Amino acid sequence: MQLQSGQNIPLTSSSITLNLRYPVRPAFRGEPDTCVFMLNAQGKVSGDNDFIFFNNLSSPDGAVKLTPGTQQSSVHIELNRVLPAVQKIALRKVRTSS
């Protein structure tokens, strides 16, 4: 399944894996990074542990795990392990260039 930016889908399982691929143009130098934000009811991360990225690959409770790769990433989410304070999980691709 391919999703558009901002698209929502209903989930039918408590364990999901998102495989994200990032095609890049030949002139682009760098590697796209995936960031995961575990957001509270105010739409904000409660602290550093709710921000999953290349330097913090999983949430302390193991509910969210990020596996980065070359021009791709995998995000595994165990919804039944996500703390009740987390109301939304958002993903963002960050493109940095050298």
Q: Percent helix, strand and coil across the chain, each rounded to 5? A: 5, 40, 55
Query: Tens-digit pLDDT profile for the chain (98 aa)?
Result: 777 777 888 888 899 999 988 776 777 677 778 999 999 999 999 999 999 999 999 999 999 999 988 788 999 999 999 999 999 999 988 876 55
Which one of 2.40.160.40, 1.10.1060.10, 2.60.60.30, 3.60.10.10 gives the CATH number of domain 15-21+30-94?
Answer: 2.60.60.30
E strands along the chain, which residues?
15-21, 33-39, 51-52, 64-69, 72-78, 88-94
Predicted TM-score (pTM) of the model is: 0.81
Q: How far apart are CA 15 and CA 26, in angstroms?
A: 35
